[in-house]
Amino acid sequence: MATEDIRAALRRVETLLQQRPEAGLHDDAPATARWTGGVSTLASHVDGLQLRTDLAPALGGAGAGVTPGWLVRAGRDVPAQRLRELVQRSQELSPVSCALEAPLPVRVDIAVEDR
């Protein structure tokens, strides 16, 4: 898809959401992440898409997937100013930026019962 096509599609969505904000509210398909042993995980989407993460053997993994950090790394050829603009824009538009900047403490308890 060409850049202009993407831009036009995003503008249509923006217009729709300005006119009918409720159209943007829907449950997303759940993602299931499963530990597969060692330092490897397998994330699955309901449509069958799967993504395996693993660490290199030097870090205790088998090298059977991309590292988790690889998934969030930006391309090296992206200008630093462009990345700053992207971060600033996402902070301006994010409905949860306050949770990222000043997160609430969360406690998770896991109980296992013998059956």
Neighbouring C-beta atoms of residue 95, cutoff 10 Å: 6
How many distinct structural domains can be found in the chain? 1
pTM value surpassing 0.85:
no
Max Cα–Cα distance, the chain, nearest Å:
59
CATH code at position 47: 3.30.300.20
In-domain check, residue 50: yes
How remote is the C-alpha of 101 from its chain's centroid? Answer: 17
pLDDT digits (tens, 9 = 90+) for 75-106: 667 788 888 888 888 778 776 667 667 766 76
- The answer to whether position 37 is within a domain reads yes
Cα–Cα distance between 20 and 14 in angstroms, integer?
Answer: 10
3-state secondary structure of 88: helix
pLDDT digits (tens, 9 = 90+) for 52-69: 999 999 999 999 999 887
Q: Assess whether pLDDT exceeds 90 at residue 19.
A: yes
Within a domain: 99 = no
For every residue of 24-70, which 3-state class applies, written as one string? HCCCCCCEEEEEEECCEEEEEECCCCEEEECCCHHHCCCCCCECHHH
**pLDDT of res. 29:** 83
Give the residue numbers spanning the domain of 29.
3-73
